[in-house]
Amino acid sequence: MSQTEIPAGLADVPVTKTAISDIDGKNATLFYRGIPVQVLARESSFEETSWLLLKGDLPTQRELANFHFDLRSRRKVHYRLLEALKNFPESGHPMDALQASVAALGLFYPSRNVSDAAANWEASLRIIASMPTLVAAFARLRSGEMPIEPHPDLDHAANFYYMLFGKEPSASVRKVIDACLILHAEHHMNASTFTARVAGSSLANPYQVIAAAVGSLSGPLHGGANEEVLEQLKEIGSPDRVQAWLEQKRASNPSFKVMGLGHRVYKVKDPRATVLQDLAERVFAESTRPILYDVAVELEKACLPIYGPKGVFPNVDFYSGVVYSALKIPTDLFTPIFAIARVSGWLAHWFEQLQNNRIYRPDAPYIGKQNVTYTPLEKRP
């Protein structure tokens, strides 16, 4: 294969087969195990969706009840891990704290033999259950507050909110957080999922697999995009400034990219963005409608005639940050929440990778110098 035949970023290059999720970028569809994500966001729960991704089918009532119990009984983390979080710098980014603490989970709850199916399931339960605890604990500790213990009677979404703020969310807030987790739980062969599969193919333990995926997600071209979208909306400030802001940006840079617009797969509006926008409208109907949401809506309208013909439309990050901001969640926690959701998809791909595993070892045609003569150090200028 010549250099010119290698698609940048491996675009459209199959790397494996999967039965976990399917995307149709032209028709704006996303399916988890054959079920439309819109249906799951409306009718399901994060726990039920996680089971679906991990096991392949929707759970029975008993299976779901047991899954709830298994997760809730593993939410607490070892006190020495919380002590370690206390020593992390307050200025550190929560994604760095999450990556380090997920890897550290493997020190306290080791699971190194990935041929042991029972141990793999136990580690998966531990990781899914612990990640909200780790994120909320670091968020409070860096502000000088003590971590709040998990609430045994709340579901995954409500418990995270409770550990973060010390109060239970309203029904509508709980629903929008739960739906956000569902919408972010899985998305085919994205960068962090591919990272998880590559790490898993080496038979790394599950904690290291997820820590690697968290690191990949942290980049601004992946999970970090929702933070940049919010900063962009804050820079605009108000709906009446959208048009002037957009014109000024494009005048100084004709190839200017609006954060939150465009996707490697979707050539129409991201179906997750549509669902999230609908849920946000319901929450805002019960509270103050944030001005940044109106800025986002106006920006989408202004961009449509410019970027729409190029197949560039809002992705899920375009509205998720606005929703989290309206819930008073700090901006730098947006991507960790993404990770709390996506861990179920990562683990599902890890399990699938192990079924017929072969370590990833792609080729990279050499294009460098040839037959270079070694010059001794003393003779180099």
Active site residues: 263, 317
Q: Exposed e or buried b for every residue in 335-355, given b needs 16+ CB within 10 A? A: bbbbbbbbbbbbbbbbbbbbe
Q: Which of 113, 85, 87, 118 is nearest to 99 (CA)?
A: 85
Q: What is the DSSP letter of 379?
A: G
Looking at residue 302, its amino acid is A
Q: Exposed e or buried b for every residue in 19-58, given b needs 16+ CB within 10 A? A: ebbebeeeebebbbbebebbebbeebbbbbbbbbbbeeee
Handedness of CA 83, 89, 94, 95 (dihedral sign): negative
Spatial separation of the C-alpha atoms in residues 377 and 357, rounded to whole Å: 45
Spatial separation of the C-alpha atoms in residues 29 and 179, rounded to whole Å: 17
Spatial separation of the C-alpha atoms in residues 18 and 246, rounded to whole Å: 40
Spatial separation of the C-alpha atoms in residues 163 and 151, rounded to whole Å: 8
Number of Cβ atoms within 10 Å of the Cβ of 254? 7
Q: Which residues pair with 29 in a beta bridge?
A: 24
